[in-house]
Amino acid sequence: MERSQNTIAVVVPCYKVAAHLDKVLLTIPPCVGRILVVDDGCPEASGRIAEELAAQDPRISVIWHKANKGVGGAVVSGYVQALAEGCDIVVKMDGDGQMDPAEMGRLLQPILDDEADYAKGNRFRDFEAIKQMPRVRLFGNSMLSFLVKAASGYWHIMDPTNGYTAIHKDALHKLQLERIAEDYFFECDMLIRLNLIDAPVADVPMQAVYGEEQSSMRIGSILARFPFRILRGMVKRIFFKYFVYDFNMASVYILLGLPMFIFGALFGLTEWLDSVLRGTPKTAGTIMLAALPVILAFQMLLQAIQIDIARTPQRSRHDRRRL
């Protein structure tokens, strides 16, 4: 990669990763010009370990959070600092040793080739990597992937909670960083907001390493809280993309399809309950009055989804020559 060392920064959010941090920092490749370690109120004082390593590697500096903000809050602090230092590309790498620094070149390539403004890892492309993934995480990722596809509009991606990412500075400047989720919803929220600025996203196949590290992420909490937040993000994206920034046939299909579906479903449910309570079957006309709106609405919403898939951002908006 023919790039100045000052163009690429790595942000490493740290919370209870003291046992793995030194290995992670010392294996970051030389193409990286800045290593920004964010001690997110870590009770193990991970930032102190990074400060000691800074004597060996001057690229390392530490950002301190007095109180824990969450992984998203830590990464945003790193993003802000990287922009202030004039970095062109910012990689996010966790400090728990699950992300192989040797994969960083593949992660950066879509951005360097001007194919994407944001690149993320995808552990679902490699069968061997899937076998290594803990079953609980595999199940959670599978459940979330489809929901995030619909919410974000990036229908080609999988493994949405993969935290190994790289982003171009132009996309960072357009994002409202202060409004991005600070907790583990960060990666999903980033995808939703990136679609709103038409930033192309690349899915990069890679493996993850699972050892003795302990994740602070709780699957039960995710399954309880994420669906509502994903639904809210989807409603927000659709509203802005199809009723504020633009108005097209997908907008028409949504405007007609949703009310028809709601009417047909509610009418059909009401008539079915009335039939059960009275013990008398409904006429064919009543059944059709309930079924036809649902069938038509389903077709309209499928057409809207097809248009949404076709409108997935494809071209990068930044000029590679500016790197």
pLDDT tens-digit series, residues 149-176: 999 999 999 888 888 999 999 999 999 9
* pLDDT at residue 222, rounded to an integer: 64
pLDDT category, 1, cuts 50, 70, 90?
A: very low
**C-alpha 151: how far from chain center:** 10
Average pLDDT over residues 260-270: 95
Q: Which residues contact 185 (CB under 8 A, 6 or more apart)?
A: 72, 225, 226, 229
Question: Would you state the pLDDT for residue 216?
Answer: 52
Burial class (CB in 10 A: 0-12, 13-18, 19+), 20: buried
- Least confident window among 97-106, 139-148, 253-262, 275-284: 139-148
State the Cα–Cα distance between residues 269 and 267, nearest whole angstrom: 5
Say how far apart CA 10 and CA 185 lie, in whole Å: 20
Given a contact cutoff of 8 angstroms between Cβ atoms, the answer to whether 165 and 94 are in contact is no
219 pLDDT higher than 70: no
- The reported pLDDT for the residue numbered 208 is 63
Mean pLDDT of 74-89: 96
Q: What residue type is assigned to position 291 of the chain?
A: A
Q: What is the pLDDT of residue 316?
A: 44
Determine the pLDDT at residue 123.
81
Map out the domains of the chain as residue ranges: 5-227, 247-310
Examine the pLDDT at 238 and tell me if it is beyond 90. Answer: yes
- Summarize the confidence of residues 251-255 as an average pLDDT: 97
Neighbour order of strands in the sheet with 201-205: 60-65, 34-40, 8-14, 89-92, 165-168, 118-122, 201-205
The half-sphere exposure of 33 on its side-chain side, counting CA atoms within 13 A, is 15
What angle do helix axes 186-196 and 71-84 make, rounded to 10 degrees?
50
| pLDDT at residue 221 greater than cutoff 80 | no
pLDDT of residue 98: 85
User: Rounded mean pLDDT of 58-87?
Assistant: 95
pLDDT band at 91 (very low <50, low <70, confident <90, very high): very high
With 80 as the cut, is the pLDDT of residue 217 above it? Answer: no
In this structure, what are the phi and psi dihedrals at residue 212, rounded to the nearest 5 degrees? -95, 5
Question: For residue 258, what are the CA distances in angstroms to 237, 254, 265?
Answer: 16, 6, 11
The pLDDT of residue 318 is 47
> Which of 254, 230, 109, 114 has its CA nearest to residue 181?
230
Bigger pLDDT: 215 vs 274: 274
Q: 95-146, pLDDT tens digit by residue?
A: 888 888 989 999 999 999 999 999 999 888 767 666 666 676 677 677 778 8
Helix segments in 154-248, DSSP class H: 169-174, 186-196, 219-239
Q: Are 50 and 14 in contact (CB under 8 A)?
A: yes
pLDDT mean over 304-309: 96
pTM of the complete model? 0.86
Rounded mean pLDDT, 187-204: 95
Greater pLDDT, 36 or 126: 36
Q: Which residue has the tokens 């927000």?
A: 236
Quote the CA–CA distance of 122 and 162 in Å, as a whole number.
Answer: 7
From 223, 222, 246, 151, select the one nearest 190 (Cα to Cα). Answer: 151
Q: Torsion over CA of 130, 209, 141 and 135, rounded to 10 degrees?
A: 60
Query: What's the CA dihedral at 231, 234, 236, 240 to 10 degrees?
Result: -160
pLDDT exceeds cutoff 60 at 302: yes
Class of domain 5-227: alpha beta
**Average pLDDT of span 53-79:** 94
Average pLDDT, the chain: 88
Two tokens at 141?
Answer: 């990722």
Ranking 90-99, 197-206, 218-227, 303-312 by mean pLDDT, the lowest is: 218-227
Which residue in 163, 250, 154, 168 sits closest to 196, CA to CA?
154
